[in-house]
Structure 1
Amino acid sequence: MGLDLYAGIPVNDYTVALQWYERLLGSPPTFIASNTEAVWELAEHRSVFIEHRPGHAGHALHTIFVDDFDTRIAQIADRGLEPTKHETYSNGVRKATYHDPDGNEIGFGGAPSDHNRPA
């Protein structure tokens, strides 16, 4: 069974959001779907997009799990964005949460670091 994901993030100011998500994701969009929608392909058939949808902005909640958690968070910091929240769950899984200018929540999750893994 194949799996595709096309997860949307409504925004109030498309231009501001486009710049913010380029910094968060580390690249320009993979493609521009329309003059109000930009798409980043995170992995084959797995994409997130921003769309100008005033009145709906600020309600998205997405978490992206990555293998390179520490590197990814450091790269995002190098681009000038810091998480609004850091968490480590009882099983050692870590999460860094970011909020875009509209309040949408985008988290990055990762496996326990080597020094936090149970022996």
Structure 2
Amino acid sequence: MALYLFAGIPVSGFAEALKWYEQLLGSPPTFFPNDTEAVWELAEHRSMYIEHLPERAGHAMHTIIVDDFDATIARIAERGLDPVTRETYSNGVRKAIYRDPDGNEVGFGGVPA
């Protein structure tokens, strides 16, 4: 079974959110489908996008699992963003949570080696 993901995040201020997500993800968007959306391809067939939808902003919750948790969090910190919380679960999985200007949650998780 092929797996595709297109995860959306509603934002109230497109320009401000665009800048913040570029900082978080470390690159400009992969493409702009129109004037109110920006899309980042995180991996093949797995994308995250922001869309100017002020009435829905602030309620998204996404977690991206990465191979090298420490390196990912360090690179994000080098770009000027720090997580609002960090957690370690009883099974050793770690998670760092970031919140965009609207309060949308984007977490990065890492499984123990």
Instruction: Give TM-score scaled by structure 1 length.
Output: 0.94
RMSD: 0.6
Unmatched runs of 5 consecutive residues or more in structure 2: none
Do structure 1's residue 36 and structure 2's residue 19 form an aligned pair?
no
Rounded to whole Å, the distance in 2 between the matches of 1:62 and 1:98 is 10
Which residue number corresponds to residue 26 of structure 2?
26
In the alignment, which residue of structure 2 is the partner of 1:82? 82
Q: Structure 1 CA distance, aligned partners of 2:51 and 2:71?
A: 28
Q: Which runs of 4+ in 1 moved over 6 A?
A: none
Amino acid at match of 1:58: G
Could you tell me which residue of structure 1 aligns to residue 69 of structure 2? Answer: 69
Aligned residue type for 1:84: V
- Partner residue in 2 for 1:117: none
User: Equivalent residue for 2:9?
Assistant: 9
Distance 2:42 2:54 in 1: 25
Aligned residues: 113
Distance 2:94 2:26 in 1: 20
Identity %: 70
Matched AA of 1:75 = R
Bigger radius of gyration: 1
* Separation in structure 1 between the aligned mates of residue 39 and residue 86 of structure 2, nearest angstrom: 26
* Alpha-carbon separation, structure 1, partners of 2:103 and 2:65: 20
Q: Which amino acid aligns with 1:80?
A: G
Tell me the CA shift for residue 111 of structure 1.
Answer: 1.2
Q: Which runs of 5+ in 1 are unaligned?
A: 115-119
Spell out, residue by residue over 1:54-107, the C-alpha distance to the aligned partner (whole angstroms, 9 max, x if none).
Answer: 110000000000001100000000000000000000000000000000000000
CA distance in 1, matches of 2:22, 2:79: 9
